[in-house]
Structure 1
Amino acid sequence: MSTHSPSPSPEHPILAGMAAALNPPDDASPLPVGTRIGGDVVEGVLGRGGFATVYRVRSPSGYVSALKLLPLDEGPERAERAWREMSLGTRLSHPNLVRQLGAGQWPLKNPRYLWVKLELVEGPTLDEWGLAPGRLLGEVMERVLEVARALAVSHEAGVLHRDVKEANILVRQSTGQAVLVDFGVGYHPAYPTLTKGMFPPGTPAYRAPEAWAYGRAHAGEPGAHYRAGVGDDLYAVGVVLYRLLTGRFPFRPAEHGGEDVEAVLHREPLPPHLVNPRVPLAVEAVCLRLLAKTPEARYPGAVALCTVLEELRARTDVDWKQVLHPERRRPVKPWARWGRVLGVVGVGLAAALGAWWLGSGREVAPGGHTPEPVRAVVTPRVEVPPPPAAAPPLALRKDSAPVKQQQTSGPQPEATSKRRGAAMRNACLGLTGAALQACLGTQQVPSERPAPPPQACPTGAMEIMTGTLGLSLGEKKGVEWSDVRGRSVHVHEDATLNVPGDWEAGAGWSGKGFKVALPNNTRLSGKLYVKEGRVYGRFTEARTPLGVVYPMCLELTDTDGNVGLELQPGSGPGKMMVDPVVRVRVVDRFP
């Protein structure tokens, strides 16, 4: 470019990326599309966590990969961990291990980041894949065998993963094979210990009994640090297998929340075949041995586990085509009962709604962050959410059905009716004559039912909310039906809300003990009902991404703090349309 050429527009993404390559951002905001790192060009963000950000990048030849950017200026421990992850990746090579393609520092002058380029493994996490309805027993056990092979190669190279869990195992879409990713907290004896606390980084629900026992025996001892071994990785495989077979963790959370350490140390998990009768006893035996209380009682190593799984797979007395999780019956879609709107009314209504949508000027918000440790390689998520109220496979326990609802308060019927009428007229804007009358006639209010009677909070809810979680009566939290903004969403009576970002009010140490936070992507379950043109809801359970369940007592409000939500255009019999972002409020009873 000539020195006399006009200055490029900063809004241009490619040129903005070139500028970013010379002057990286000072904050944690994602790099612009077009930023060049190590010869590759950034195309977007794949995931973010506390330690790193992962970008989708493309080489000059067109090869697409994942580039993990780790900061070097956030303290010596973070920097050393970044270098360790890069070094560990050079020691490992196997079809069931994520492949490292290169590494370096960025920018070249005064580097502030270490980048590690990895193959892009496109596919779901192991739990998303394995808990899908219709999954066969043989398929699940094949994936577990592949994880065992990955660990056998890793352990032979002297590398411990230390965070084996479903979120760090991807099922490659092209081959169907499991791939173990993210060695961000891995360990090799050649490197010094970085962890300052009792336990190395990892996920408590997958922590082995011997680690908890060491923590109890050395509590308060200065410098005490548990050193993980091969048995810790194998125990974590046992937790993964138990979840794939049963859809739940081996041990329920403690009454106060968090891990039930007493159960992990001294109780046996419920045999998988009692939770899911489709689990064969031969498979159950392998799972329970992996979950043994001492590493000596488990398998001697990953190689031995591979041998056992291969011998098990060869058995003909096991029905490997058994479906582990049968497909649930899908609800009938509302429009299948209504029939179709034909002729000028249907065409005019579609055009009017399209004009309303295009004229709204709203944008789609970016999705949430990937929990830490960040997935090393993931598939870019499609910005079209599932039906908001359709609960994930683990969203509700059979013994924890939400209570019925009752309206607590809300606007006067006359004001509500006026707003609803205005919303209907806006939806039908552009129609005239008979078409307009027909359109207005289709904007019906969902069927109203008698308000439920006053209801006490679930047992222990107030103690959990105020004690364990540190929440206050009347406290509000923004939640969402969907991460897609700018349009209404269809919700059902059995409602499930997502908590975006940690709900950490009061979390940390206090005079009354340690308060935990509800982590990002916690799901709130409850019931909805309609009264006088508004949707009201009571939410009685919170389930964290790790499966920890807390009883809750939360009522639904709009973003202005008014109890209930105003129905949006498109609502009708059996169909509630509401804004995608709402709030919940902590209450001590449902009036």
Structure 2
Amino acid sequence: MTSNLLRLPSGALVDGWHVSRELGNGGFAVVYLVEKNGKPYALKMARHREASGDDKQTHARMVREATTLLMLNHPNIIRPQGHGYAETGNMYVALEYVDGWTLAEWKERKHPTIHEILRVFVKLASALSYMHERGVLHRDLKLVNVLIRKSDGEPIIIDFGCATYTLAEDLTEEGLPPGTERFRAPEQFKFLREHKNEHRARYAFKVADEIFALGVMLYELLTDPRPAENRPRIAPNNPLMPPPPVRRVNPRIPLALSELVERILSRDPSKRPVDTDALRRELEEHLERSGAEYMVPAHAPSEQWPSEPSGVGGPPGVPSNGLTPPRRASRALAAGAALVIALTAAVTFWHVSGDAPSPILDHSAPPMTSPLDMSLPSLAPMVLPSATDAGQKEGSTVKMPSPEVSIQGRPTRVRNKVSATECAALSLVAALAAGCPSSQIRPESFTCPDGAESAMVNDLHWRYFDRFSLVLDDRHGRDEQIWFTPGSEVVGVVPKGKGHYRRQLEVAPPGTRFYGKAYYLSDKMGRADGPALVVRYDRVKLPGQDERPVCFVVESRSYGFKDGRVQASNFNEGTVVDRWP
């Protein structure tokens, strides 16, 4: 067995399969689009996990995946077409090629009705019931592991790399089986807490876990108009903050369906449907008695992306440059016009290539979402590079063309400089991007997220005004001075090494991760010693534990402000608080 897998170029030949291009890759395998006898297939080839140094483990996983697939024959499950070994010694499995969208892309691209979404989930529950009858568990159900075939709209469950079956060899090295954190049932994290000192303890994955994962998928399609967009969301499996009922997030969803989803996501496994066949029957009952309220799109068109994206070359619903298309908001245009009249100032709005997301309020986001994630309700739709996009890749640059404002449908060039009056009329995010003089993105006063006080006092054993040192942005080194984009998401981490107080080592040890946002606080906002960077962390995850809500603030002197970004040291101390300032 080779120690690594070189990427196969287009035109390569693997045991008679002609490689066209790479489709994707993960920790255990690389998937290629291949051709044989004039027909397209997907070829999944085992790869070496460099971090583990264990070729045999990777090979064993591919053998188990091939064995699992050979046990199944269902129209809604990916079908194997052969298996073998490449010249390098890496095992491969050839699969049918499904020309389709992921479940999340399908939701954004096709704007399905509630009835159509339910029809898909009836078929998924039926396929899972078929699998479970044969002792097979997928263990990694999520939106990207279901494809909707373009030709007939049929859902196909894919990627059995984490699957297992009765009497299969246990390949798990950790307490939990492989999978995706967001779709794990809460009892898995409870198991980790109860067995944290038992190194040989292994969680027994059950059908109830599979049902919970399917429930998360259904919850996201019913509550999130843009499930394929990569952004922070409330964790449906957070034991401290259960997700709000579907109907509360999206009033379009019928009450009976909302209550079913709530049961599927119950923290108590015994309250979920007893098995996937029972779940299938319940979903079918909803379909049979569904009325007019089920025949409308799950979200209003104004909340979703246009059905036909302007970009080409990228995945469905996403232009080729990787940015998502803007949201339509005609009512906001009218309100924006009224605001211009009221302020007697020519407020500047612009459109950036039609590709960047608008800073709009996401009603499916958790309650702790900062007000800085949205522009003022009365403003016209502002299309700006998101803070996450701008700060996501080191060295990446977002170039903005000269702004334009649309007046009665005619694009008109406007001056590059924005007056103080105009700046005052813009939202914080818009003002920063417009380059307004002394523009700030400033955190408003806030109280702790729901459950944070209990989590900090009872679970984490933190005390108010405890101080912990950490690297503010784990993408950069501890000793660097880096540029922060106000409004952007940051993940901090407590580094290994000396310099931590004894108390911190007990309650926030190395490896603890903090999740929050960066803000800019000027010297005109109460700072006597100059501008400052403020990072507000509202979630934390200790090693081996689940995520918890917190109130933790770092305030650091900044060393520069340029192009809307703030320069500050990447290592500092923060404080446990109950509100800020």
Letter in 1 for 2:219: Y
Is 1:451 the counterpart of 2:447? The answer is: no
For residues 568 and 22 of structure 2, the distance between their equivalents in structure 1, rounded to whole angstroms, comes to 30
Is 1:88 the counterpart of 2:25? The answer is no
The farther-off stretch of 36-45 and 445-454 is 445-454
Equivalent residue number for residue 32 of structure 1? 9
Query: Could you say which residue in structure 2 is the equivalent of 1:254?
Result: none
In structure 2, do the counterparts of structure 1 residues 564 and 323 end up closer, same or farther at CA, with 3 Å as the change threshold? same
What is the CA–CA distance in structure 2 between the aligned matches of 1:224 and 1:119, rounded to whole Å? 37
Are 1:208 and 1:236, in contact at CA under 8 Å, matched by a contact in 2? yes
Residues 321-470 of structure 1: matches in 2 within 5 Å?
Answer: 321-328=295-302, 383-386=320-323, 387-390=355-358, 399-402=369-372, 444-448=415-419, 449=423, 450-452=437-439, 455=442, 467=470
Cα displacement (A) at 1:295 = 3.2
Would you say 1:513 and 2:509 are equivalent positions?
A: yes
Q: How does 1:91-490 map to 2 (within 5 A)?
A: 91-107=71-87, 111-130=88-107, 134-247=111-224, 262-263=239-240, 269-317=243-291, 319-328=293-302, 383-386=320-323, 387-390=355-358, 399-402=369-372, 444-448=415-419, 449=423, 450-452=437-439, 455=442, 467=470, 471=474, 475=480
Contact preservation (8 Å) 2:359, 2:374: no
Q: Which amino acid aligns with 2:320?
A: E
**Compared CA separation, residues 453 and 479, structure 1 to 2 (3 A):** closer
Alpha-carbon shift at residue 463 of structure 1 (Å): 9.8
TM-score scaled by length of structure 1? 0.59
Deviation at 1:224, TM superposition (A): 0.9
How many residues align structurally? 430
The SS at the match of 2:84 is strand
**SS of 2:136 mapped into structure 1:** coil
- Contact kept? 1:395, 1:543, Cα under 8 Å: no
**C-alpha distance in 2 between matches for 1:199 and 1:244:** 26
Q: Is 2:467–2:573's contact at 8 Å kept on the other side of the alignment?
A: no
SS at match of 1:149: helix
Q: What is the CA distance between 1:115 and its match in structure 2?
A: 0.9
2-side partners of 1:380 and 1:80: how far apart?
Answer: 36
Match of 1:408 in 2: none
Residue 37 of structure 1 deviates from its aligned partner by: 0.9
CA drift of 1:457 comes to 8.2
User: 1:323 is aligned with what amino acid?
Assistant: P
TM-score in terms of structure 2 length: 0.60
1:455 and 1:588 map into 2 onto residues whose CA distance is 20
Q: Which has the higher contact order (CA 8 A, sep 6+)?
A: 1
Contact 1:43-1:57 within 8 A present in 2 as well: yes
C-alpha displacement at 1:548, in angstroms? 10
Task: Name the structure 2 match of 1:345.
Answer: none
Q: Alpha-carbon deviation of 1:89?
A: 1.2
The CA RMSD over aligned residues, in Å, is: 5.2
Q: CA deviation at 1:184?
A: 0.6
Structure of higher CA gyration radius: 1
- Preserved CA contact (<8 Å) 1:122 1:379: no
Q: In the alignment, which residue of structure 2 is the partner of 1:75?
A: 55
Distance 2:273 2:444 in 1: 46
Cα distance in structure 2, aligned partners of 1:28 and 1:465: 42
One-letter amino acid matched to 2:295: K
Residues 498 and 525 of structure 1: is their aligned pair in 2 closer, same or farther, counting only changes over 3 Å? same
Q: Is the 8 A contact 1:125 1:169 kept in 2?
A: yes
Deviations for 1:169-219, whole angstroms, at most 9, x for unmatched residues? 122222222221111111112211111221111122222233233333322
Q: Letter of the aligned partner of 2:371 in structure 1?
A: A
**Counterpart Cα distance in 1 of 2:304 and 2:219:** 26
Asked if the contact 1:248–1:394 (Cα under 8 Å) also holds between the matched residues in 2, the reply is: no
Q: 1:77–1:514: structure 2 CA closer, same or farther, 3 Å change rule?
A: farther
Query: How many angstroms apart in 2 are the aligned matches of 1:76 and 1:86?
Result: 15
1:525-552 Cα deviation digits (max 9, x unpaired): 989xxxxxxxxx99989999xx999999
The gaps in structure 1 that reach 5 residues or longer are 1-22, 250-256, 332-365, 368-377, 406-422, 428-440, 481-494, 528-536, 556-560, 567-577
Of the three residues 10, 15, 25, the one matched with 1:48 is 25
CA separation in 2, counterparts of 1:278 and 1:380?
A: 23
Between the aligned partners of 1:87 and 1:194, the Cα distance in structure 2 is 14
Check the 8 A contact 2:479/2:569 in 1, yes or no: yes
Deviation (angstroms), 1:307: 1.5
Q: Deviations over 1:407-445 (max 9, x none)?
A: xxxxxxxxxxxxxxxx99xx9xxxxxxxxxxxxx97952
The one-letter amino acid of 2:70's match is T
Whole-Å Cα distance in 2 between the matches of residues 230 and 167 of structure 1? Answer: 20
Q: CA deviation at 1:583?
A: 9.9
Output the amino acid matched with 1:564. Answer: K
SS of the equivalent of 1:263 reads coil
Match for 2:370: what amino acid?
S
**Are the structure 2 counterparts of residues 541 and 244 from structure 1 closer, same or farther at C-alpha, using a change threshold of 3 Å?**
farther
Aligned-pair CA distance for 1:36: 0.9
Change over 3 Å in CA distance of 1:524–1:126 after alignment to 2: farther
CA distance in 2, matches of 1:42, 1:144: 33
| Cα 1:177/1:526, change in 2 over 3 Å | farther
CA distance in 2: counterparts of 1:112 and 1:92, whole angstroms: 26
Q: What 5-or-longer segments of structure 2 have no aligned partner?
A: 227-233, 306-312, 324-354, 376-398, 403-411, 424-436, 450-464, 521-532, 541-546, 575-581
What is the deviation of 1:584? Answer: 9.8
SS of the residue 1:513 aligns to: coil
Q: Report the Cα distance in structure 1 between the residues aligned to 2:96 and 2:516, rounded to whole angstroms.
A: 32
What is the distance in 1 between the residues matched to 2:304 and 2:157?
Answer: 33
Whether the 8 Å CA contact 1:65–1:118 is kept in 2: the answer is: yes
Distance 1:464 1:327 in 2: 47
Give yes or no for contact 1:464–1:550 (8 Å, CA) kept in 2. Answer: no
Cα offset, 1:85, TM superposition: 0.9
Change (3 A) 1:121 1:133: closer
Structure 2 CA distance for aligned equivalents of residues 32 and 205 of structure 1: 34
Alpha carbons of structure 1 residues 132 and 506: separation in structure 2 relative to 1, 3 Å: farther
| Aligned counterpart, 1:65 | 41
Structure 1 122/588 Cα, relative in aligned 2: closer, same or farther at 3 Å? farther
Q: SS state of the match for residue 8, structure 2?
A: coil
Q: Deviations over 1:486-533 (max 9, x none)?
A: xxxxxxxxx98799xxx7875789944253669xxx998989xxxxxx
Cα deviation for residue 48 of structure 1 reads: 1.7
Aligned residues with identical type, % of pairs: 27
Contact 1:508-1:514 within 8 A present in 2 as well: yes
Segment drifting more, 458-467 vs 27-36: 458-467
Q: Which moved more, 1:172-181 or 1:231-240?
A: 172-181
Distance across 2 between alignment mates of 1:141 and 1:70: 35
Q: Show CA shifts across 1:34-59 (max 9, x none).
A: 11112112222111222111111122
Determine the C-alpha separation between the residues in 2 that align with 1:207 and 1:167: 15
